[in-house]
Chains A and B, each alone.
Chain A
Amino acid sequence: MPKRDDIKSVLVIGSGPIVIGQACEFDYSGTQACRVLREEGIRVILVNSNPATIMTDPEFADATYVEPITPEVVEAIIAKERPDAVLATLGGQTALNCAIALHENGVLEKYGCPLIGANVDAIELGEDREAFKGVVERCGAESARSIICHSMDELLAAAEELSYPVVVRPSFTMGGLGSGFAYDEADLRRIGGQGLQYSPTTEVLLEESILGWKEYELEVMRDHADNVVVVCSIENLDPMGVHTGDSITVAPALTLTDREYQRLRDIGIAVIREVGVDTGGCNIQFAVNPRDGRIIVIEMNPRVSRSSALASKATGFPIAKIAAKMAIGYTLDEVPNDITRETPASFEPSLDYVVVKVPRFAFEKFPAADPTLTTTMKSVGEAMAIGRNFTEALQKALRSLEKKGASFHWDGELTKVAAERALEEAKTPTDGRIVLVQQALRGGCTVEEVHEATGIDPWFLDQIALVNDVAAMLAEADQLTPELLRLVKRHGFSDAQIASIRRMPQAVVRGVRHALGVRPVYKTVDTCAAEFAAATPYHYSSYDEETEVAPRERPAVIILGSGPNRIGQGVEFDYSCVHASFSLRDKGFDTVMVNCNPETVSTDYDTSSRLYFEPLTLEDVLEVIHAESQAGPIAGVIVQLGGQTPLGLAQALEDEGVPIVGTSPGAIHLAEDRGAFGQVLAKAGLIAPKHGTAFSADEALAVAREIGYPVLVRPSYVLGGRGMVIVYDDDSLVTYVEKATEASPDHPILIDRFLDDAIEIDVDALFDGEEMYLGGIMEHVEEAGIHSGDSSCTLPPATLGDGELERVRVATRKLAEGIGVRGLMNVQFALAQDILYVIEANPRASRTVPFVAKATGVPLASAAARVMLGATVKELREEGMLPPSGDGGAMPAHAPVSCKEAVLPFKRFRTKEGVAVDSLLGPEMRSTGEVMGIDVDFGSAFSKAQQGGGSALPRSGAIFVSVANRDKRAMLFPVKRLVDLGFTILATSGTAAVLKRNGIEATVVRKITERDGDAPGEKSIVDLILDGTVQMVVNTPSGQDARADGYAIRAATTSADKPIITTIATLAAAVLGIEAGLTEEIRVKSLQDHARDLDLYGRKDALVGTGATA
C-alpha cells in the first residue's frame, strides 16, 4: 500500500537535551525522519529544545520550534500549526512521554492530529510492566517473576516473597533511571524509595534476579500490513546486571545456535504483534540462562532507541528512516534497501563482520560517585568499531574510546597473585573491567575461572585469551615478519600496542609495517554479506586481502569527526562536521567522513560521499588518508570541526605530509602553547589574567603568592576543564598539586589568577585572513569560574553595552590575525573592573557554534568549511551564505534573545552510600547537554531554557535561600522581588537575619547539622526539600567553610528534581524568568519566523534560507 494521502503535515517531537540515556542517537533518528518526510512532500513541524542538534537546523523542517518539550508548549505549537499527525516514536522517552500526556489531556483529539508510528495503547502496553508481563505470557514466553509495588510496605513484602537479591525498576523512567539491585532490606529501602519518587506514577516493579544471565536484544521492524523483520541481534558481553547502555555489546549475536536464535526471533515477533506496535521499530531485550537456555523477556521499547541507532550503523539498515516511511503508510516491501538499491527493505540484514560497541564513562568528573555499573545507565557516550572478526572489532573499539588505559596492554611482568587480584576486582562490573579480564587471563587465570567470576561467556573470554596468545607470539618473535604482522593486525593490535610490546617507537613499527606492505584493506557495510552489490561506500578497515575502495575523480575533503560523546565534546561538534560535509558536497567536493560514534548524524552513510567507520587515532586516520589518496585527489583534511580529538592529531598529520586545510597546525600551536600565546597577546596589546607555570608544589606556592589568590589551577594537558579547580589558599594548593600526580616536566601545572565577579564572554568568529565575520557574542549568566560549557549564556549579550561589544570585536580580530586563523575560532573573555581579559582562544569550531547559528539564523559551520577550503567571507556574503553586511556580533535592536542553558547529570550519579553527588558548578565541565530558549526578552528566554532543561522555574510556593556572606548584599533585591511575586521564603538563620534586617520576611528552617531546637521533630531543610515543600533552592557555596550542609541541601534538591541555583548571578536571571513565566502567555515561534523577522540577510519578506542544503 502506498503512502497515506490524508497526511500533509506532521509534527515531529524531538528528544530535548542530551542526557545520560538519551543522547544524540535521537538527533540521528529525528534528522532521518525529517528528511524522509520532507522528501515525501510532507510539511514537517519540529519541536526540540536542543540547539546543538542537526535536526533543529532550519533546513530540516518547514517550521522548527526550539521550544521546551512540555505538553503545554507542544499544545501551543499544535494549535498554531494544526498538523495532521504527530510522530513521537523517534524522539526517545521524552517525546513518547509528551505524546502520552497530549493524548491523556485530550489535545490530540481536540486538534485532530493522531499519533502515527505507534498508538497510545501500544506505548502503554510496552511501558507498563504488569501489562507487558501479560503480553509476554500470551506470546507463550516467560517474564521474570515480579511484583508491582506502590509503597515501601508493598516493596518489603514483595522482596520477602521473591527473596533477595531483587531488582528494583521504577515505571516510566528513561535509561533505567532509579533502578538497581537490592541485596538486603537496607538497599531496598534506599533504592526502592528513590524509585517510587522517580516514577511519575509512583510505581516500582520488584523482580527476581537474573544476574549473570546472557543478555540479548533484537531490533524489530513492523509495517501496517504486519510484515515483520528482525534488523539486528545484539549480544551483551557483560551479562545481566549491567544496563545495556553501559555494556560492551556485540552484533550479531555470536553464541547462540540457530534454534535458540529463532526462538528469540519468534518471541520478539509475537511480542511486537501482541503489543500492537502499528508500524516502526522496536527493541526487545532477553535474558538467557547460560546453564539451560531458559529465556526471559526483559522489556521492549515501542520506539526507536539507542540500540536501534547502533543497529542501523551496525547493519546499514536505517531503522529510523524506514520507521518514518512506515508511519506514513508504506510497507517494508515498497521501500528499497538504500544500500543495494535493487532489493527491498523487507529482509533481514546479514553481517560478514563483527561490530563491537563500548561505552564511554565520565566518572573522573564525579569523583564522589560510585563507579559500579548497575541497571541505571551511567555512560555518557559510546564508540563502535567494525572488524572482520571479534578480536579486531573489540580492539578497535577500545582504542576508539581515546581514553588512557582503555585498551589491552602487556606492560611489565604479571604474577599469578596480581592476576588473581585483577580477577577479584573484575567481579564487580566497572568502567574498564574488560582490561582487568584481559590482565587476569594474561596472568594465568583460566577462562573457566574468569567466567565463574564475571559471567562473561567463555567464547568471548577465549577470544581475549587469543589476543594474549598473539601478544605473546609477538613478544617472543625474533623479528617482525609480514606473516607475524598480518596475524597481529588481524586481531586488532594497533601500532602503539605493537610498539609497546616490541619496545620500539610507534613510528618505527609503522615504518616497518609499511615497508613490508602490511596495510589494511577497506570492506563495505552492505546489509547482505556481499550477496548483492552495494551502492553506498560505507567502509571499515580490516587486515584482509581485497579492498573495496572505489576510484574517484572529484577532489576529496576528509573530515575528522569527534569520536565518542564525552562531557565537553558532544553532538555540537558532530553538528559542525555534518554541516561541513553538506556544504562542501554542494560545492563539488567528495566528502569523506571518519568517525567512530554510532549515535551521530555524521556516521549516517548518506551524510557524506564516503564514510569510514574508524577509530580516530593517528594510525587509523593515516591509513584512511592513504587509502583515499590511492583512490583519487585529496583537497585536504579538516581537523577543526570535530573538537579536541582531531585537533590533537593535526601536528602529527602534518608531519606525515597530510594537507591540513584551514588554520595550520603551527597556528593551532600558537593558541595552545602558553608561551606562544602570551606573545600573540602581547603583540595584540591584549592581556590575560596573571598566570604562571609550576612543576612542583613549591613552585606552585611561589607562583600563587606572586599573582594572588584565588587562583585557578589545572594540569597543562587539560580537556573540557578536567581537573581544574579554584583554590583560595596555600593548603588547598599544596593538596591539589600532590593529588595531581601527573604533574611532571612534561605536564606542568598551570596557575591563573581567578577573576572574582567577572563577566564571562564567549565569542565565535570566522576569519579568512582578511575579513572577520563575528558569528556571535555570548554573555554568560554565571560569573567567570564556572566552566563555559556549564554556564548559561545569552545572545545578544543581555547586559553588555556597545562600547564593550566593540572592544570584544577588536580583540577577537587581533587574535584571529595574530594566531593565523582560517576558519572558526572561539574566544573566551572575562570582563572585570572594566578590563577585558583573554581567558583562552581555540582555533576550532566550539560547542556554541550550533547555538550561535540558531540564534542568528546563519549557517556558521557551513561557512567555516567553505573558508577552510579557500572561500572568502566576501564571497560567502555575495553568495548569500553569510548576510550581505553586518554580522552576529551586532544584532539589531529587534533581535530576539536566545538563552542557552546547560543540563547536568547529577541525578545519575550516587556515592557509594547512595546519596546524589554534589551539584556545585565549577571550572570543570560536567554538563551532558544543553537547551535553548528563544523569546522577546531575557527573562522569557531564560524561563524557557529552564523549562526545556527539565527544571522549570516555580510559579508559586516556597523558595529556600541560603547564600554565602559575600552574596548577601546581592541577594536582597532578587529575594525581595520573589516575595512581591507571592513566594514564601525559607532561609537558614544567618540568611534570614539579613533578610529580616532589610525588611524581607523569611521563615527560619534548621540546617541538617543543627540539633532539634525548640520544636522537637521539626523538619530540617533537607526534609522539607525531599517532601516537596520547597519549590526552588538558592544555595551559593561559601568559600572554604565546611560544606556538609550545602552538599546535603544540594543533593536533596537534585534527588527531588527541583531547580537549584548556585550562583547569585543566576538568581537574578531566575527572578526575571519567574516573572516572565507568571505574567505571560505561552509564546511559540519557529526559527524560520524568527529569522524572517530578524532579517539579517535583508530579504524582507522572502522565505529565509540559510544557504546550506540538506
Chain B
Amino acid sequence: MTTQTPLTVPTRDGHPGRTRVAATLVLEDGRTFRGASYGALGQTVGEAVFSTGMTGYQETLTDPSYHRQVIVMTAPHVGNTGVNTEDDESTRIWAAGYVVRDPAIRSSNWRATRDLEDELADQGVVGICDIDTRALTRHLRERGAMRVGIFSGDAAERGDDELLDAVRTSPQMAGAALAAEVTTAEPYAVPAVGEKRFTVAAIDLGIKAMTPQLMAQRGIEVHVLPATATIDDVLAVGESGPDGVFFSNGPGDPASAEHEVTLLRQVLDRGLPFFGICFGNQLLGRALGFGTYKLKYGHRGINQPVMDRTTGKVEVTAHNHGFAVDAPLDEDSDTAYGRVRVSHVCLNDDVVEGLECLDRPAYSVQYHPEAAAGPHDAAYLFDRFVELMTNRQTNHQQISASEGAH
C-alpha cells in the first residue's frame, strides 16, 4: 500500500492553499487510481458514472438523480466559477462522491459566493482529484457503470484488498428504490408567476428546482408532493383538484418503483393530463406495460442529440439516466391505455427518449427539458403540457356547456 503524500502546491499570497493528502479510487473490478484528496476526507461508495457536461457542476451536484452515484467529470477544470446562491437544483449536494482532474484554486465569477471545494467539504462530499479522469471514463465506457469507492485520509490507509472489499459489499444500483431517500418530507406549493391558469400535482421523486420554476412561468401553480403520495393526495391539490399530474426525475431503478407505477396508472385511469421527465418517463413506460433496462454506462451530459419524431427536428439536450424504456421504435404499441408511440429517440444510440399516448393526454421524456444544466432546446415540452391542460379545460367547458343545454 503506497499512500505517499501527493505533491501539492503551497499556499500563496493569502489565498488559502488546499491541504491535500493521498486518495485512492477503487472500482469494483479492481482497477485502482491514485490521486489526491478533494472536498471532504474519508470514504464513500456509490455507482461510478461519468458526466460530459463542460458547464453546470453546481446544478449537477445538487441534482437528486445523482443520489448514491459518484460523478466523474470529464471536463478537467472544475470549480472555476465557484458556487452561488442561485444555481442549486435542490437543498443539498446529492452526489455520493466527486472525481475531477484539476480543481480550481480560485473561483472567479461575479455571482460566486463560495469556493466549490469548501461547499463539498462542508457537505461531507468525499472526492478525489489529480487522476486520469479520461482513462477512468474510457474504462467505464468499455466495462459499463460499476460500483466505486473513494478513500482519503485515514480511510485510505487500509490495504487495497480491504478497499476493494468495501466497494464490492456496497449496494448495487440495479434494484435500488431510492425515491423515499430524496423526496420532500412535506408537500409544498410553487405559486404561478403572473396569472394562475392551472394547478399541477408534481410527484417529487428527486425533482430539480428548475422544473416547477419553468411550470410556474407558464401560469402553473405547482403542488410538489412526496413520493409516498396517494391518488387521493393528488386529487386533493388546489381548490378544485389538479389540471394535470407531473412525475419528476429521480434516482434508482424504475423496476423497483411499485408504488409510483400504481399511482401513475390511477392518474391515467382518470384521464388527467400527465407529463413525466426522466424517472417519470420510465414510470410511464412501466405503467403502459413496457419493460425498463439498465444502460451499459448511461447518458450523462448536456450535448445529446434527440430527434423529436413529431417534427423531425433535432434538439440538443441534457441527459442524466442510467436506465431506459424498452419500447418498439418502428411502430405504435397497443397498451392498456390505447396506442402509444415513441415520440423521441436519442440519435447516438437509438435509446427511447420519449413516449406519447395517442389516446390519452399523457407523454413523457427521458431527458431534461428543464435543462439546468444544459441547453434550452426542449423547453417547448412544458408548453405541450400547458396545451394538454388547455384542451382538457376546453373539452370540459364544452361538455358542461352541452350538458347545460339538455
Contacts and interface: CB of A to CB of B under 8 A. Distances in A.
Interface of A: 225-227, 229-230, 252-259, 261-262, 265-266, 290-293, 331-333, 342-344, 346-354, 388-390, 446-447, 457-459, 462, 465-466, 469-470, 473, 483-484, 487, 523, 528-533, 544-546
Given A255-B108, A446-B13, A462-B106, A347 B135 contact: no
B213 interface: no
Nearest to B102: A389
Contacts of A254: 77, 80
B305 interface: yes
Looking at B76, B101, B347, the one whose CB has the most chain A CB atoms below 10 A away is B76
A533 B53 CA distance: 18
Contacts of B77: 254, 354, 389-390
A546 B134 contact: yes
B348 interface: yes
A466 B9 contact: yes
Nearest to A333: B314
A474 to B, nearest CB: 11
Contacts of A388: 76, 101-102, 134
B135 A544 contact: yes
Contacts of A465: 12-13
A456 B181 CA distance: 44
A529 B74 contact: yes
B237 interface: no
A55 B105 CA distance: 46
Contacts of B10: 469, 473
Contacts of B84: 257
A342 B108 contact: no
Interface string B77-105: 10011001011000000000000011011
Contact of A258 (B106, B313, B372): B372
Contacts of A258: 53, 55-56, 58-59, 87, 302, 372-374
**Nearest 5 pairs between A and B by C-beta?**
A258-B56, A545-B132, A546-B135, A529-B74, A258-B373
30 contacts: A230-B316, A254-B80, A255-B108, A256-B81, A257-B58, A259-B86, A262-B373, A343-B347, A344-B305, A344-B348, A348-B303, A348-B316, A349-B303, A351-B54, A352-B137, A389-B77, A390-B77, A457-B108, A458-B108, A459-B80, A459-B104, A459-B107, A459-B108, A462-B15, A462-B108, A469-B12, A483-B6, A529-B50, A529-B74, A546-B138
B133 A531 contact: no
Interface string B301-316: 1111101000011101
Contacts of A483: 4, 6-7
A340 B347 CA distance: 13
Given A258-B56, A354-B76, A458-B106, A265 B375 contact: yes
A466 B135 CA distance: 25
A316 B9 CA distance: 33
A309 B293 CA distance: 41
A469 B106 CA distance: 14
Contacts of A291: 110
A255 B314 contact: no
A342 B347 CA distance: 9
Given A225-B312, A333-B347, A351-B75, A523 B106 contact: no
Interface in B134-173: 134-135, 137-138, 141
Interface of B: 4, 6-7, 9-10, 12-13, 15, 33, 50, 52-56, 58-59, 74-77, 80-81, 84, 86-87, 101-102, 104-111, 131-135, 137-138, 141, 301-305, 307, 312-314, 316, 347-349, 371-376
A346 B141 contact: no
Nearest to A340: B348
Contacts of A348: 302-303, 316, 375
A532 B301 CA distance: 13
A230 B55 CA distance: 14
A257 B134 contact: no
A343 B80 contact: no
A469 B56 CA distance: 29
Given A258-B56, A293-B111, A343-B348, 13 more contacts: A255-B80, A256-B81, A257-B109, A265-B376, A342-B349, A352-B52, A388-B134, A390-B102, A458-B108, A465-B13, A487-B7, A529-B75, A533-B141
Contacts of A533: 141
A262 B54 CA distance: 11
Contacts of B7: 473, 483-484, 487
A226 B315 CA distance: 10
B9 A256 contact: no
B224 to A, nearest CB: 22
Contacts of A344: 305, 314, 347-348
A446 B75 CA distance: 28
By DSSP majority rule, is chain A's interface helix, strand, loop, or mixed?
Answer: loop
A227 B348 contact: no
Contact of B81 (A255, A347, A352, A528): A255
A333 B307 contact: yes
A262 B106 CA distance: 23
A1094 B21 CA distance: 74
A545 B134 CA distance: 9
Nearest to A291: B110
Contact of A545 (B4, B54, B131, B304): B131
Contacts of B134: 352, 388, 523, 529-530, 544, 546
A293 B84 CA distance: 14
A662 B4 CA distance: 50
Contacts of A349: 303
Contacts of A353: 76
Contacts of A457: 108
B377 to A, nearest CB: 8
Nearest to A353: B76
Contacts of A293: 110-111
B105 to A, nearest CB: 6
A167 B215 CA distance: 43
Looking at A466, A523, A530, the one whose CB has the most chain B CB atoms below 10 A away is A530
B314 A332 contact: yes
Nearest to B81: A257
Looking at B53, B74, B371, the one whose CB has the most chain A CB atoms below 10 A away is B74
Nearest to A289: B110
Contacts of B372: 258
A531 B135 contact: no
A292 B110 contact: yes
A257 B87 contact: yes
Contacts of A346: 305, 314, 316, 347
B106 A459 contact: yes
B355 to A, nearest CB: 21
Looking at A225, A293, A469, the one whose CB has the most chain B CB atoms below 10 A away is A469
A530 B141 contact: yes
Contacts of A253: 55
Contact of B313 (A227, A347, A350): A227
A447 B13 contact: yes
A473 B347 contact: no
Given A349-B303, A545-B132, A532 B141 contact: yes
Contacts of B15: 447, 462
Nearest to A548: B138
Contacts of B303: 347-350, 528
Nearest to A263: B376
Contacts of A225: 312-313
Contacts of A466: 9, 105
Nearest to A527: B303
A145 B310 CA distance: 42
A473 B9 contact: yes
Nearest to B58: A257
Nearest to B106: A462
B379 to A, nearest CB: 10
Looking at A253, A258, A544, A545, the one whose CB has the most chain B CB atoms below 10 A away is A258
A459 B105 CA distance: 8
Contacts of B56: 257-258
Contact of A531 (B81, B141, B305, B313): B141
